Chain A
Amino acid sequence: MARRSGSAYSSYNVTCQYVGDAIRVGLPREPFVGSSVLDSIYRNVKSQHIRYEPSQKACYVSASEIDSLAAALYDSTRSFPSMSRAKRFDTGDTVMLAAVVTGIAQQVVYDGERKLFVLIHNEREYPYELIADSEIVFNYWKGKATPSTASNVYEVLGVSQTDEESVVKRAYKQLCIKWHPDRNKEPDARKQFDAIQEAYSIVSNPRRRAMYNAGLKQEMVLAQRSRAEQFPAITSGHVLLHARMILGRLIVSTIIEWRPL
């Protein structure tokens, strides 16, 4: 890992909560990338292993699936351009912290430039240095996503749930220009164009948009209920990570305190 200079360093606490067979990792601050992007990642890449809850600023990792998670983390790096032995990693600090807490990662390095690194030095087949760079992640997903692969109508149009009508309309027009079958010769242009039309028919209609938003909330409620039934709460507490400076970097290595609530 190349050494960085001129960075400010900081440490932080995280909150952990054992929820049945899972470990809930509370975040000390907002995730680096937009929640919709993270949602996509978790849904599309490793929804079976990690669940992210934007409203709770937390992610859930199944403690019984550590090996599967490690494999998923490794697999997720395959699609990224490799940097010699370093592999870009496609999530933000939420997963990094989860990785530390669950023992996948032995070291986490965080610098003041909003970059997170996780070193995995286990004896299995993942002796890789994983790098999380929120901007790379964001740009990667932004570039990769197409309207028909988006998980909700806002992602289709590339707008946020709170964007006003004028913003939505502008985005819609730009997408129409890009994906209109008469202009775009991609084989799936019609499919993408139809997805754009369908999304806009919802977002541009106040009633349908309100109902759609309520539906998104319901999806989250149902997912939480399902999870709660699967993993009933047992106990909870706070955890403090141990950190030290090595070669100008803050190294978080172990959990030094567990304080049950």
Chain B
Amino acid sequence: MSDKMQLVQATGSITQRAALMGRTLADIMSAADTIVMLDISSSMATQDSRGRRARIDAATEDLAKLQEKFPGRVMLVQFNDSAEIVPTGVPGEPQGTTDVASALELVKDFDFDGMKFILISDGEPNSANGALAVAKTFRQPIYTIYVGPEGGEGRAFLEALSSATGGTSMLAARADNLLGVATTLLLEQKQ
């Protein structure tokens, strides 16, 4: 069992914040201004991240730090064959394919001024054209963080996606610097 399997909810996550403040989930979510879309496809289990750890473990660790640093402001959406909101802030185990479009369609409902979108992925989507078509309908920029191998084909797609929305794409050096990249985004885009 990996470390994150033991977590019920991440510190600073929506559910933890709600419990801490004695508020409802909806109350806390209404104040969230950052949506992190995390790829949990099977390729995220590849163990080429820091300390020979899986990409998903490194990403999860940094995601946990991000939520702790900005409590209640980050809402996690995980996706593989489909997408779902994860208010506990703890992503599931990697499995399945990479349906980026489903994640984008899910978060499209929150595409309003002041919302920041961060997409973290390492691979090629099931349908690049489908994902790009959805991305182009966004009013807010989508920032992408590539956590795959250097020179991987997935990076070009993420660059194209963020470019289509007016965002930027960053390389997180096999997830080594995800926290730093995301934090910079949050602080720069602070409302």
Q: Which residues of A contact B (CB under 8 A)?
A: 152-153, 202, 206-216, 218-219, 222
Q: Which residues of B contact A215 (CB under 8 A)?
A: 14, 24-30, 87
Quick one: which of A207, A208, A211, A213 has the most chain B CB within 10 A?
Answer: A211
Check if A211 sits within 8 Å of B110, measured CB to CB.
yes
Q: Which residues of B contact A202 (CB under 8 A)?
A: 30
User: CB within 8 A of A210: which of B25, B28, B112?
Assistant: B112
Q: Which residues of B contact A207 (CB under 8 A)?
A: 33, 110, 112-115
Q: Which residues of A contact B31 (CB under 8 A)?
A: 208, 211
- What is the CA–CA distance of A219 and B33 in the complex, to the nearest angstrom? 19
Enumerate the 8 nearest inter-chain pairs by beta-carbon distance, A residue then B residue, closest first: A215-B26, A215-B29, A207-B112, A212-B30, A208-B30, A206-B112, A211-B29, A215-B25
Q: Which residues of A contact B24 (CB under 8 A)?
A: 152, 215, 219
Q: Which residues of A contact B114 (CB under 8 A)?
A: 207
Q: Write the chain A residue with the least CB distance to B106.
A: A214
Q: Write the chain B residue with the least CB distance to A206.
A: B112
Contact with A along B18-41 (1 / 0, CB 8 A): 000000111111111100000000
**Chain B interface residue bracket vs A:** 20 to 34
Q: Write the chain A residue with the least CB distance to B88.
A: A222
- What is the CA–CA distance of A206 and B33 in the complex, to the nearest angstrom? 12
Q: Which residues of A contact B115 (CB under 8 A)?
A: 207
Contact with A along B108-122 (1 / 0, CB 8 A): 011011110000000
Q: Does B160 contact A (CB under 8 A)?
A: no
- What is the CA–CA distance of A219 and B29 in the complex, to the nearest angstrom? 11
Q: Which residues of A contact B75 (CB under 8 A)?
A: 211
Q: Does B85 contact A (CB under 8 A)?
A: yes
Check if B26 sits within 8 Å of A216, measured CB to CB.
yes
Check if B26 sits within 8 Å of A210, measured CB to CB.
no
CB distance from A182 to the nearest CB of B (A): 27
Q: 13 A–B contact pairs at CB < 8 A?
A: A153-B26, A202-B30, A209-B30, A210-B109, A211-B30, A211-B110, A212-B27, A213-B26, A214-B109, A215-B14, A218-B29, A219-B26, A222-B87
Q: Write the chain A residue with the least CB distance to B18.
A: A215
Q: Which residues of A contact B33 (CB under 8 A)?
A: 207
CB distance from B27 to the nearest CB of A (A): 7
Complex interface residues of chain B between 59 and 80 (CB less than 8 A to chain A): 75
Check if A214 sits within 8 Å of B112, measured CB to CB.
no
